[in-house]
Homo-oligomer: A and B are copies of this chain.
């Protein structure tokens, strides 16, 4: 089984290699995970504008992957940017959003989860994603670390301490019984595993929960619903032959 992990922005080669190693190590036997980054996009996602920036290019790549032999695509951003569009334009490959996958696993493991995201600017989106997932009633809080995404790796131990502290507040004062990390960069730092240990509750590493959800669904022979994520009408009616035909450019001034 081949799974593509698509990062909606450009990423350094070394970091891609580091992450690919981890993904491969977390994958089931017989599963190959390949990271594909997007030539143009945000350096990190700390605003909705940056989410949208990376979608059109990621879509083109995933549209192409859909015609190859990939079983699943895992989105490389835990804001699930453009998840709905990416599911609309694919007919064969399953597309998984890490936030959605992580929240559903938390919902299975407990009654009340909190989401820990990167910056305050991402808190309203966090609520919205829980609402859209239908899991608003299990969400306690969305809390922010307020360390920029790109500095997480340099500050692993500071980030971990702050995550543990916020997590502890959620557990002790607000009765959260599980946590969802809301950023893929956190996932590749292996902090979820230490937090689980120290806080005594399950903490979702969004990279691992997304990868395992993708594998599980593929092994069940399941694909995201094409009634729920319809193929774009202009493509299904044949008016457009490919994704490129959906983009129009002004010809006259």
Which residues of A are interface residues toward B (Cβ below 8 A)? 9-10, 13, 26, 28-30, 37-43, 46-53, 55-56, 59, 82, 84-85, 88-89, 96, 100-101, 104-105, 107-112, 119-121, 123-125, 127-128, 131-138, 148, 171, 175-178, 193, 196, 200-202, 204-205, 208-209, 212-213, 215-217, 219-234, 237, 243, 246-252
Contacts and interface: CB of A to CB of B under 8 A. Distances in A.
Contacts of A138: 134
Contact of A248 (B41, B196, B204): B41
Contacts of A200: 226-227
A253 to B, nearest CB: 9
A238 B28 CA distance: 40
Contacts of A110: 224-225, 227-229
Counted per complex, copies of this chain come to 6
Nearest to A237: B148
Contacts of A39: 249-250
A216 B85 CA distance: 26
The 5 lowest CB-CB distance pairs between A and B, nearest first, are A177-B228, A110-B225, A212-B216, A47-B232, A110-B228
Contacts of A232: 46-47, 49-50, 121
A142 to B, nearest CB: 9
